[in-house]
A and B are shown apart, each in its own frame.
Chain A
């Protein structure tokens, strides 16, 4: 997030696109509802009628995957009506002319045709967002889990810059990040292209810095991303894998392909709390500890570094994750893995990442600090890009609309959308007896029109089949979804939705199009 969670309540407009915050980020959702209660107007862009959509001034129930066209259409209107913040653009951004040229063809009529949103609503939403000062954009995986995910994100940045909404309070561009520490894992360099602190690995200056810090020789070419690792296994170039705390068989798209690849490895180590679907394929399984059994830090979606504390001993006095990783390092004969406690590691992190340099365990004992926090007396950064963008000038990049990788057709006429729901979190909360008891089964959301068409009632079980797999599940009949679309979560291994999803990827991030799969459905029982 460029801005902070605490700012949400005082926004005047919330532009919420591809984000079901009241279920996926309930406490942020509460703050959005509170803002609405205080008079903020919500523009909610989502193919489903989410709880936030029901509070919205404008709910743009667009056709799945038409986000880029919609945003281009809004920018077309803003520029035609001269609602853009020209002073802001002239002073802080580059690329306006090419952006303007690109959106020229996205007339309201053309945009309406692609997105299914009528021209009048497009005008009203564009005006409300552009003409309100304290207007923030919020997005989640509804934007990124597409083959055009990167383009979608860049286009939202275009929209934010065009209207002067980035770098000020109660506005900005705010991805709501999915996992507790996805921000931190990225910050730490758990990525194939970056050393810690987003320093490109294929840059000699960066290699020099980390060779000095770690006192060893480093590789200066980019590593493999997850899908490339899987392809690498099938090509015979990748022989071994070490998986910490993930279950790609259940969470990555096209599960059967993932399983096949992992089976083809010479050697697989899985470190997890449970014998997961992935762990079952391993040669060695290392038992992990839960978050409540270790000390450390998480970095949340607003870049706040917060303490995690050991509250209880792990069963059997198990080692914690970094201890096991260090132990492997030591037994391989590597230097630099002689850590005694988490704080010692954090002290090394401070030396590796300038924006963490001002943070230490003492300073975050209570409330945490938001990076960038370069010095020990820095208060941390509530919002980013104040006055100037981190990269200098804000770059506006023309984005073209591209249709989704898979479209519905005669054989697979229904569009499947996937995501989370309130009572569960990914594949891990079902091991809580309480949460499991609250919602023990998948319930596919299906519109009453389709329920009638397929002769379904609330007790029916349906079979959902895509080009890659076939599963069964219970249903709930609701107009939250439009006719011709269904919605499923990925929480249930009994209804493993990722056996259906498409592994077509965004070319830059290799994020899969989890949000759009063409399926057919049939009554099973």
Chain B
């Protein structure tokens, strides 16, 4: 432990932690663009700079560890000016309309630009003009909005371990690209969309959430309905309708990872072929029925079969896709109701 002064407050801190970690533990807000605690340190954006008394240059809080007697200022005039300059450089090379282009999920770049009052860039000169990659159904890539924070690349390498993208080019021409700079497709990417969730700008956009106003979204945590892994995520709900999936930080099973199915399946809820009413077959054709008609008919037929052929002539298939509660009640109907153990489900397949 060493003793340092943080924004005027003396504190004892571990010398193994960075100034950024110490700040966050103590509720001190330091903005970051390229820092992500799930990833190896990138230390490239300079947004997290702080002033350390006696040092000539500002220090990046994400990669600076405390020394005994250090005096740190996180919001001095010099620090604020540096952050504004960094934002100005980025915004100057960004398409118009940053202030109003909100997004569901990580929107830090726009939020900082608004907070620091730098929504218009002051540097006039060449501006990037790349084609937007709209070739896959899951997400959009707009390299013109990229700030080269590298989080998508690190996420692909370290979390999903797929290695689809990397930096290409130098200087002003640097961009994030696939091998041979081809569009994203199932040939070069697993389309998990994890990079989309970690992107702090509008460069990577979840297509289902593209036009959703984040202010209207309610998030409901639930468990994925596909394989047996049991990932947790948030369903994003607007006006009673599920509009898309976003990950939860630090879910026990999956941390914040999701696969292509977990992240992009939710439009299936609104498939036009969904059944919306009970159906009873009459003369080989399905006819719409009320619940009352359907349940009475079912009860009558089951009774008839059981009276005539015994309880063991009735069988049931429950479902590994349904909830525990659904399955429990289903097997109870067969055992405690009908009086047979003729119940099974697709665990065998």
Residue B330 interfacial (CB < 8 Å): yes
Determine the distance from Cα of A229 to Cα of B343 in the docked complex, in whole angstroms.
Answer: 9
> Quick one: which of A434-472 are within 8 Å of B by CB?
434-435, 437-439
Q: Mark B210-237, 1 if CB is under 8 A from A, else 0.
A: 0000000000111111111111100101
CB-contact partner of B228 in A182, A192, A252, A283, under 8 A: A182
Residues of A within 8 A of B320 (CB): 178-182, 184-185, 190
Q: Nearest-CB distance from B325 to chain A (Å)?
A: 4
Contact in complex: B323, A308 (CB < 8 Å): yes
Of the stretches A63-71, A115-123, A286-294, A383-391, the one at the interface is A286-294
Is A284 touching B303 in the complex (CB atoms < 8 A)? no
**In the bound complex, do residue B325 and residue A296 qualify as a contact, i.e. CB atoms below 8 Å apart?**
yes
B residues 258-309 in Cβ contact with A at 8 Å: 258-262, 264-269, 271, 273-281, 286, 289, 291, 294-299, 301-303, 305, 308-309
A240 pairs with B228, CB closer than 8 A: no
Q: When the two chains form their complex, are residues B273 and A275 in contact, meaning their CB atoms are under 8 A apart?
A: yes
CB-CB under 8 A for A434 and B343, given A179-B227, A307-B221, A316-B277: no
Instruction: Check if A201 sits within 8 Å of B264, measured CB to CB.
Output: no
Say whether, besides A26-B192, A190-B330, A332-B299, A240 and B305 are in contact (CB < 8 Å). Answer: yes
User: Do residues A342 and B323 form an inter-chain contact, with CB atoms below 8 A?
Assistant: yes
Interface residue range, chain A: 35 or more
Q: Which residues from chain B contact A318 at a C-beta distance below 8 Å?
A: 276
User: Most chain-A Cβ atoms within 10 A of its Cβ — which of B257, B269, B342, B349?
Assistant: B349
CB neighbours (8 Å) of B279 from chain A are 275, 282, 284-285, 287
Would A315 and B161 be within 8 Å (CB), given that A223-B340, A237-B313, A284-B281 are in contact?
no
Alpha-carbon gap, A285 to B288, bound state (A):
10
Question: A334 on the interface (CB 8 Å rule)?
Answer: yes
Q: A33-B161, A191-B347, A435-B265 are in contact. Are A336 and B332 (CB under 8 A)?
A: yes
In whole angstroms, what is the CA distance A269 to B323 when docked?
Answer: 19
- The answer to whether B349 and A301 have CB atoms under 8 Å apart is no
Given contacts A239-B313, A239-B314, contact A188 B348 (CB under 8 A): no
Given contacts A192-B343, A226-B317, A290-B269, 10 further A-B contacts (CB under 8 A): A5-B229, A30-B160, A176-B229, A216-B336, A304-B230, A322-B329, A325-B329, A331-B298, A345-B325, A432-B264
Residues of B within 8 A of A (CB): 136-138, 159-161, 186, 190-192, 207-208, 220-232, 235, 237, 240-242, 251-254, 257-262, 264-269, 271, 273-281, 286, 289, 291, 294-299, 301-303, 305, 308-309, 311-349
**Bound Cα distance from A293 to B291, whole angstroms:** 18
In the complex, the answer to whether A327 meets B325 with C-beta atoms within 8 Å is: no
Q: Given A225-B344, A311-B222, A334-B333, decide whether A30 and B273 contact each other with a Cβ distance below 8 A.
A: no
Give the nearest-CB partner of A332 in chain B. B299
User: Which residues does A use to contact B, with CB under 8 Å?
Assistant: 5-6, 24-28, 30, 33-34, 37, 145, 176-193, 195-196, 201, 210, 214, 216-219, 221-226, 229, 232, 237-246, 248, 251-253, 266-267, 269, 272-275, 282-288, 290-294, 296-302, 304-313, 315-316, 318-322, 324-329, 331-332, 334, 336-337, 339, 342, 345-346, 348-349, 352, 366-368, 422-425, 428-429, 431-435, 437-439, 509-512, 514
A24 to B324, CA, bound (A): 22
- Rounded to whole angstroms, the CA-CA distance of A188 and B323 in the bound complex is 10
Chain B residues lying within 8 Å of A510, measured Cβ to Cβ, are: 348
Residues of A close to B271: CB separation below 8 A: 274, 431-433
Most chain A CB atoms below 10 A, which of B225, B267, B329: B329
Q: Which residues of A contact B266 (CB under 8 A)?
A: 292, 432
B74: shortest Cβ distance to chain A, in Å? 31
Q: Across the interface, do A274 and B275 meet the contact criterion of CB distance under 8 Å?
A: yes
Q: A292-B222, A345-B328, A431-B268 are in contact. Are A181 and B321 (CB under 8 A)?
A: yes
Which B residues lie within 8 Å of A216 (CB)?
336
Least CB distance, A504 to chain B, in whole angstroms = 13
> Are B340 and A219 closer than 8 Å at their CB atoms?
yes
Contact status B299-A328, CB under 8 Å: yes
Instruction: List the B side residues contacting A321 at CB < 8 Å.
Output: 322-323, 326, 329-330
**Could you list 6 examples of A-B contacts with CB < 8 Å?**
A27-B258, A187-B324, A188-B318, A242-B314, A274-B273, A312-B241
- Bound-complex Cα distance A435 to B315 (A): 34
Q: A283-B281, A433-B267 known; A297 and B319 CB under 8 Å?
A: no
Identify the closest chain A residue to B289 (Cβ).
A284
* Contacts A292-B242, A322-B325, A429-B268 given; does A27 touch B253 at CB 8 Å: yes
Q: Which 7 pairs from chain A and chain B are nearest by CB? A: A300-B230, A296-B323, A223-B341, A245-B319, A177-B228, A26-B259, A287-B275
| B273 partner residues in chain A, CB cutoff 8 A | 274-275, 431
